[in-house]
Structure 1
């Protein structure tokens, strides 16, 4: 059968930048093995499969990397929300809200279409960030990333692990140049995290030196066990990063906004907008936002 799909570039307002995403429509008759095979065929960091809505959802979705399924992911949520709002005929100067059903839970989304026709979307993280025990030590992480141990850490920031619900190891790096110099040792990567019981490890390396003055952090993300050598923009990592910021920045009560740059080292510059709310030193809300551009439409013969 001819099955519709679209591709988008997410966390950007320009085509051929940001994080590419494939969205496959009318996927109710596809089993898990077929979805995984299609995700490997697209070979993007994530592919979304749109399923009939349950409850009050606009749609239910499943998300696959080339190496496995995720319960939740950021750029698939933003991209799918924008695509569905576009197909629903959202007019310039308007906005709409709905929920997407993901394995991690319902995800509230708000999509805006600006007066010039560009789309942006914001979603509320389905779970709040939680700390995870057993972070590899600085020397191990520096070796995995091809850095000197002196490159790891800045200010109060030291390596940590958080999930929301997808888990990441967060590695602070002293400079943007050092972030760009990272070269991952895949074997050491897998061995180190297997020793602490993490089967699908991901590292989010970040610096407070940025390309744009309005940005707060500059980052790269690596998850070779999921088939992602490097990801141009990782919304799920940004969601859990709220826990990192709350721990090391000692944020006062209130709402805080941060812009995260990612994908620059890959030639896919991306801009992720992170908003978090804190009260009594606890994160009580997290939202992730950004733009998306619909790039291609076609049909799969499966």
Structure 2
């Protein structure tokens, strides 16, 4: 028995840019353990599985897996799945997808896909101080704008604001064990470093996978959380473009906006690069 899958690059400006993703559009009948094994087999940052929706007015329900665990929400799998389903099912320009963290509104315009969330935002302080996060990232204390903060608009992530694009480009995490100890307050070790100048954001996302620090090249959920952070600080409406992945050789380009009501929209271009059939055990 085999099931189809599609390979796409999300937030891509070129064929080999963006963040790779595997999409399984016919996942009904696959249990969580099998989906986790398939995600581990592909070993991409995420693999997304499409199921029948729980509510009839929605288009589909998504299950999103990293190689090691399932996520309640992630941006680039949601957008990549939307791109594939739009082409396969002839969906209209707007519709709703379900994730474990809630409903996500989708909009299409050519190869560009955007998602909008209305989940509200939660924030929490971190045990990491401004000086500690600077040291963890290999930076001087005055390269960091403030102490990092936890943000949740669908999934908890630790956001560290830096003072310049150069600081973002130069940062890195050399000590995986320390990273695991100091950033896993919410169960998952990860850190989103970002800086904003004149409506442009440059960012990098670090997370732990199989005991090693890995860099994600395009993180839609973190872009959503950044919008949530701006809203929580009464800085909305706000809009920006986000550059991510350049340091890893996979340029990603995202758009993010948050309105005065707290609706956060993140989008980018999606490119299909392959398809096939996965043989099930």
- Pair in the same fold by TM > 0.5: yes
Give the equivalent residue in structure 2 for 1:31.
31
Select the residue among 75, 80, 98 that pairs with 1:101: 98
Q: Retained in 2: the 8 A contact 1:129–1:242?
A: no
Deviation at 1:158, TM superposition (A): 4.5
Provide closer, same or farther for how the CA distance between residues 272 and 33 of structure 1 changes in structure 2, counting only shifts above 3 A.
Answer: same
Structure 1 CA distance, aligned partners of 2:71 and 2:157? 13
Deviation at 1:79, TM superposition (A): 0.9
Alignment of 1:161-240 (within 5 A): 161-184=150-173, 185-194=175-184, 197-208=185-196, 216-224=200-208, 229-240=214-225
Give the equivalent residue in structure 1 for 2:247.
265
TM-score, normalised to structure 1, is 0.85
State the Cα RMSD in Å.
2.0
Q: Secondary structure at the match of 1:35?
A: helix
Gaps of 5+ in 1: 114-118
Alignment of 1:65-144 (within 5 A): 65-89=66-90, 96-113=93-110, 119-144=111-136
Give the equivalent residue in structure 2 for 1:242.
227
Deviation at 1:298, TM superposition (A): 0.4
Select the residue among 267, 277, 281 that pairs with 1:289: 267
Measured against aligned partners, the alpha-carbon deviations of 1:49-86 in whole angstroms (never above 9, x if no partner) come to 11123321211110001121011111111111111111
Structure 1 CA distance, aligned partners of 2:100 and 2:60? 12
**More displaced stretch, 51-60 vs 32-41:** 51-60
Gaps of 5+ in 2: none
Deviation at 1:135, TM superposition (A): 4.3
Measured against aligned partners, the alpha-carbon deviations of 1:119-161 in whole angstroms (never above 9, x if no partner) come to 11111125222212334112221222122222211xxx54222
Q: Retained in 1: the 8 A contact 2:118–2:263?
A: no
Deviation at 1:198, TM superposition (A): 2.2
Count of residue pairs the alignment pairs up: 277
Deviation at 1:221, TM superposition (A): 0.3
TM-score, normalised to structure 2, is 0.91
Q: Secondary structure at the match of 2:82?
A: helix
Q: Secondary structure at the match of 1:259?
A: strand
